[in-house]
Chain A
Amino acid sequence: MNEFNLVLDKNGLVVAFLIVGALTWLTNLFSKKVLNSRIPGSAIAIFLALVLGYLGGVWADGEKGIADIPFFKGLGTLGGSMFRDFAIVATAIGASFMLIRKSGFLGLISLVLGIGIFFTVGAALAWIMGYRDAVSICTIAAGACTYIVGPVTGGALGASSEVIALSIGTGVVKTIAVTIFTPILAPKIGLKSPGSAMAFGGIMGTSSGVAAGLAATDPKLVPYGAVTATFYTGIGCLVCPSLFYLILSAIVG
């Protein structure tokens, strides 16, 4: 038994392939047999993975969900930013450069619109919940953009670590919300073509959430959503601690 644990411990990434493979096999079977394919297997698998992430947090009390438990640690590598970005880039192989160029301008508009919506609504909620200083409101509102924009903005403005942690939490909730709501709402909002996926990526931002949500909706749309979403965090880091902070401090006083 000791030797077996040693093998598992040494080959975390390979264990992760086995776990994810087994999970998708089960969820595909469940989707086909029980749900008549009404909900895609991958959507169920992503949702179950979020549940595992929660349970991992409860059991191990760490920061990386289930990946903090030694047996599952390979999931942290497989789901880390390097593999995530590498695989997203690979999805471009199924995309058409012509279509991306055609919808490029609308992608840009949707980026600006998206950051504006998330920042404004985030700031309004922070105000309603009792925050009155511009630095805290700005950091929380930036967290409503993505979980990277929040801490970058908070760090630049000198927000308290408590507020920065809150902004990261907000950003993670957003990623989860986009992942879950996208496949449910896609048919109702007209998200069905490459062009609309590009606008969607720009409005929603969070590359992880957009890419996971689109993967559960229609995998063909992933590269189009990802190509605009990838600019969202960068632009957010640019405007939140500067332009948006100045506007906000003029309003809050």
Chain B
Amino acid sequence: MIQGLAVLSFSFLLGMWCGELLGTWLGIDANVGGVGFAMIFLLLIKEYFQQKGWWNTDMGFGIEFWNKLYIPVVIAMAASLNVKAALSSGTLAILAGIIPVLAAFWVFKYLIKAFPSLNHE
């Protein structure tokens, strides 16, 4: 179990490092795609381990646990957001927070219609 967790931690730290490096290279004070890089590393390592025959269900369990913990983490995150400040920072914050989201849903609908192959794989 702990070996799977170690694989996950290794991918996570490596990905975050790449994100920081990319951010510095682009000259901005932000992590660019660290989570995305980490996800791709995790998938590649898993594939490599499976080919080598090193992967076992116990390792998968260590990662699966965190995968399942994802929704509880999101719930805790929602409860620790500054919802009051967001709602009381004025009409503009509420309008500029909601209207673009609705516009983006509308654009997404047409994007999916333009690329119907997305939903048929």
A contacts, CB < 8 Å to B: 16-17, 20-21, 23-24, 42, 45-46, 49-54, 56-58, 63-67, 72, 75-76, 78-80, 83-95, 97, 99-100, 102-103, 106, 110, 113-114, 117-118, 121-122, 125-126, 129, 140-141, 143-144, 148, 152, 165-166, 168-179, 181, 185, 188-196, 199-200, 203-204, 207-208, 211-212, 215, 219, 222-223, 226-228, 230-231, 233-235, 237-238
Residues of B within 8 A of A233 (CB): 30
In the complex, the answer to whether B39 meets A223 with C-beta atoms within 8 Å is yes
Roughly how many angstroms separate A56 CA and B112 CA in the complex, as a whole number?
39
Contact at B60–A193, with CB atoms within 8 Å? no
In contact, B39 and A95 (Cβ under 8 angstroms): yes
> Are the CB atoms of B85 and A117 closer together than 8 Å?
no
Q: Known contacts A86-B12, A169-B85; is A100 also within 8 Å of B40 by CB? A: yes
Q: Which residue from chain B places its CB closest to the CB of A21 in the assembled complex?
A: B72
Could you tell me the distance between the alpha carbons of A178 and B74 in the complex, rounded to whole angstroms? 13
The chain A residue sitting closest to B112, CB to CB, is A190
Residues of B within 8 A of A170 (CB): 89, 92-93, 96-97
Given the interface pairs A57-B85, A191-B108, A200-B108, the reply to whether A234 lies near B19 with Cβ below 8 Å is yes
The answer on a CB contact under 8 Å between A117 and B80 is: no
Query: Which secondary structure characterizes the binding site on chain B?
Result: helix
22 contacts between A and B (CB under 8 A): A49-B77, A53-B81, A83-B73, A84-B74, A89-B11, A89-B42, A95-B39, A97-B40, A100-B43, A125-B100, A140-B96, A168-B85, A172-B83, A172-B97, A176-B83, A181-B102, A190-B109, A190-B113, A227-B36, A228-B36, A230-B34, A237-B28
Q: Are A42 and B89 in contact (CB under 8 A)?
A: no
Given contacts A93-B64, A170-B92, contact A50 B104 (CB under 8 A): no
Known: A125-B100, A148-B30, A199-B108. 6 other contacts (CB 8 A): A20-B72, A89-B38, A103-B118, A110-B111, A177-B101, A190-B112
Q: What 0/1 pattern do residues 28 to 71 of B give for CB contact below 8 A with A?
A: 11111111101110111011000000000000100111110111
Which chain A positions have C-beta within 8 A of B16?
85
Chain A nearest CB from B84 CB (Å) reads 3
Does chain A have a CB within 8 A of B2? Answer: no
Q: Given that A90-B8, A93-B46, A93-B67 are contacting pairs, would A122 and B75 also be in contact in the complex, using a CB cutoff of 8 Å? A: no
The answer for the CA separation of A199 and B117 in the assembled complex, in Å, is: 12
Give chain B nearest CB distance to A196 CB in angstroms: 5
| Least Cβ–Cβ distance between B18 and chain A, in angstroms | 11
B105/A173 in contact, CB under 8 A = no
Q: Which of B35, B92, B95, B108 contacts A89 (CB 8 A)?
A: B35
Task: Report whether A231 and B46 are in contact in the complex, using a CB–CB cutoff of 8 Å.
Answer: no
User: Are B32 and A235 neighbours in the complex by a CB distance under 8 Å?
Assistant: yes
| Interface core residue of B28, B67, B76 (most chain A CB under 10 Å) | B76
B119-A190 in contact (CB<8A): yes
Q: Point out the residues of chain B lying under 8 angstroms from A211, CB to CB.
A: 70, 74
Closest chain B residue, CB of each to CB of A214: B74
With the chains together, A189 CA to B101 CA distance in Å? 13
For residue A148, which residues in chain B have a CB less than 8 angstroms away from its CB? 30
Contact indicator A231/B97 (Cβ below 8 Å):
no
* B33→A230 contact, CB < 8 A: yes
Shortest B13–chain A CB gap in Å is 10
Contact A178 B79 (CB under 8 A): no
Which listed residue, A152, A181, A191, touches B29 by the CB 8 Å rule? A152
A100 to B6, CA, bound (A): 24
